[in-house]
């Protein structure tokens, strides 16, 4: 008996909600019919045709990537592209399209074989996903660990302070955990002098 009452209350509530939706639709339609409509010109800000974006990108003389050589070349390539993307304010999708355009040789062949797996048909291209897959291929865990150890063991030795600082800055991205606290970073730097 109690369940029947709950069911009846839910049916009543559903009917009331349906009636309210219908009334709102009628009110909206009536208001639209009596209000004169003005067409606003559609203004799109910041959208560039792809050919213009590519033209601007190529003027920056970005590096190509072939997929051969030092694993650190992969990281440097991504960093250079990201500088250009930031300057040009590229969308996520544009970043991937342009990066793929810069792949040559083995790297281009790898991407052609991998693209459909990473970005199935209809899936939006996302830069971070591309970078993750790219690094998985061209900057392996082994290479990453090697750079991490190189950072942890970094000492000035025979380098000038400027050379040491440049090496420290370059390798700090491979620290086991990011060095965000400036005092931690300064302490680590001093320990290597």
At 37, list the tokens: 């409509």
39 or 87, which is more confident: 87
Quick one: DSSP state of residue 69? S
- Report the alpha-carbon distance of residue 175 to residue 66 in Å, rounded: 27
Quick one: DSSP state of residue 36? P
- Mean pLDDT of all residues in 134-151: 87
Reading phi first (left if > 0) and then psi (alpha if -120 to 50, else beta), residue 73 is in: alpha
Q: Is the pLDDT of residue 45 over 60?
A: no
pTM: 0.63
- Mean pLDDT of all residues in 117-128: 94
CA distances to 22, 23, 41, 56 from 32, rounded to whole Å, are 15, 14, 19, 45
Q: Are 171 and 147 within 8 A, CB to CB? A: yes
């Amino acid at each position: 008996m109690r369940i029947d009452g709950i069911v009846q209350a839910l049916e009543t509530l559903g009917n009331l909600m349906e009636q309210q939706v219908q009334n709102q639709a009628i009110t909206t339609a009536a208001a639209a019919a009596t209000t004169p409509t003005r067409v606003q010109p559609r203004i799109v800000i910041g959208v560039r045709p792809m050919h213009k974006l590519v033209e601007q990108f190529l003027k920056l003389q970005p590096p190509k990537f072939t997929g051969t050589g030092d694993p650190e070349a992969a990281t440097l390539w991504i960093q250079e592209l990201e500088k250009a993307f930031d300057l040009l304010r590229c969308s996520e999708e544009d970043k991937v399209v342009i990066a793929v355009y810069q792949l040559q040789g083995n790297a281009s062949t790898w991407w052609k074989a991998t693209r459909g797996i990473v970005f199935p048909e209809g899936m939006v291209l996302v830069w971070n996903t591309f970078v993750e897959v790219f690094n998985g291929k061209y900057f392996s865990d082994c290479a990453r660990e090697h750079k991490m150890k190189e950072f942890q063991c970094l000492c000035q030795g025979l380098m000038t302070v400027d050379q040491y600082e440049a090496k420290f800055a370059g390798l700090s991205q491979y620290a086991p955990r990011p060095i965000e606290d400036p005092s931690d970073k300064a302490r680590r730097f001093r320990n290597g002098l």
